[in-house]
Structure 1
Amino acid sequence: MSTDDIQIRETKDSDFNNVMEIEKEAFESEDEAVLVAQLLEDKSAEPVISLLAFKKEEALGHILFTKAAIDGNTSSPLVYILAPLAVKPTHQRQGIGGMLINEGLNRLKASGAEMVFVFGPESYYPKYGFKQDAASMGFTAPYPIPEEHAGAWMIYSLSTGTTDGFKGRVVCADALNKPEYW
């Protein structure tokens, strides 16, 4: 399949069932779908960037970026957390996840966001410019991450010099601020 026939757009309320279906299929459980539903209702996550990838009328992938902050910085830059990214298993490894990441990063940059964090596979996100071990750069995760997974906590800088002068623990939306997600 070529990615030429994939369209990406902002989700609408009427897309909720499509989003839930993608999350359940991609993760083979209800957990991420429940998290996404909670994040979409969570005022502390706003403004969110929620995107769907479609081929014709079929929803194939979803990505969610929720607002975060750097603890202890009164003038915290606008930062986001990418969680989760999901693509239906039958359409994985075809570039759809990358399209969703790139589109989301472009929209965040246009909105004035300066940094994006993700806790995810170390073999995947660096392909899209994420730098591993954000804690070593002064940005600790909302909950402690075991040392063997330190590289999975990553940062993407949307503007040059963003990380200068800002250090601290990343504070995420209430729905994501639970130890089981870290």
Structure 2
Amino acid sequence: MHLREELLSDRETVRNLHLRAFGDHGRVVADLVGTLRESVTPGDGLSLVAEHDGQTVGHVMFTRSLLDAPRRLVPVQVLSPLAVTPEHQKRGVGSALVRHGLKVLADRAVPLVFLEGDPGYYSRFGFAPGGEQGFRKPSLRIPDGAFQAIRLAGYETWMTGTLVYAEPFWRHDAVGLRDPGA
């Protein structure tokens, strides 16, 4: 498996990967990726693909958001989304993408990475419930256990507060869980 930064020529393949990986929710995720991609620059954010036998089989994106801390706003990263083609799931592709992304961000002195996801999966990388670390989630629709954070080398103890998602997450209604009966 080969990991690398996403190229302009990968856009359609990555979109199709998200459509397949996320089923009914795939269009929202694929559209979110398209919008978030605009914010990824060489020094801020990260979009990685995994290739196997010349085929793109995984994608992860880390994008800038803010932590509203008592001293000041702190630039942080949000891991979202992570997708692997159905036939390559449970083979370490997603884990390799997450680990590589966290290493790159740590080397860039990013202090914190947040996500919404399965604690059973993401705890293996060092993510832990955000609320237990002094962070407040950006929406009450996010289940407490799903709101997770990892502190990287750039973290300082005063960095507590509320995660403020970048605008595309709100525009695409990709924050927390909606109540279909409401």
Measured against the shorter chain, the TM-score band is 0.7 to 0.9
Identity of aligned residues (%): 30
- 1:163 is displaced (CA, Å) by 4.9
1:15 maps to 10
1:135 matched residue in structure 2: 131
* Among candidates 141, 147, 157, match of residue 151 of structure 2: 157
Instruction: In structure 2, give the amino acid aligned to 1:139.
Output: F
Q: Is the Cα–Cα contact under 8 Å of residues 78 and 112 in structure 1 kept in the other structure?
A: no
List runs of 5+ in structure 2 lacking aligned partners.
177-182
Coordinate RMSD, CA, aligned: 2.1
Contact 1:42 1:175 in 2 (8 A): no
Q: Deviations over 1:54-97 (max 9, x none)?
A: 01210000000001111145544441000000000000000000
Aligned residues: 172
What is the SS of the residue equivalent to 1:40?
Answer: helix
Q: 8 Å contact 1:71–1:168 — kept in the other structure? A: yes
Q: 1:103 to 1:43 in 2, by over 3 A?
A: closer
Q: Distance in 1 between matches of 2:59 and 2:162?
A: 27
How far apart are residue 176 of structure 1 and its match? 1.1
Equivalence for 1:92: 89
TM-score (norm 1): 0.86
The question of whether the paired residues in 1 share the 8 Å contact of 2:62 and 2:80 is answered with yes
Aligned CA distance change for structure 1 residues 19 and 74 (closer, same or farther; 3 Å): farther
Equivalents in 2 of 1:40, 1:25: separation in Å? 19
**Pairing 1:35-54 to 2, within 5 Å after superposition:** 35-42=32-39, 47-54=44-51
The answer for the alignment partner of 1:144 in structure 2 is 140
List per-residue Cα deviations over 1:22-68 (Å, max 9, x = no partner).
11111013111011111112489x82200000012100000000011
Q: Which residue of 2 aligns with 1:175?
A: 168
TM-score of the superposition, structure 2-length normalised?
Answer: 0.86
Letter matched to residue 176 of structure 1:
F
Instruction: Give the residue type in structure 2 aligned to 1:131.
Output: A
Structure 1 unaligned segments of length 5 or more: list them. 1-5
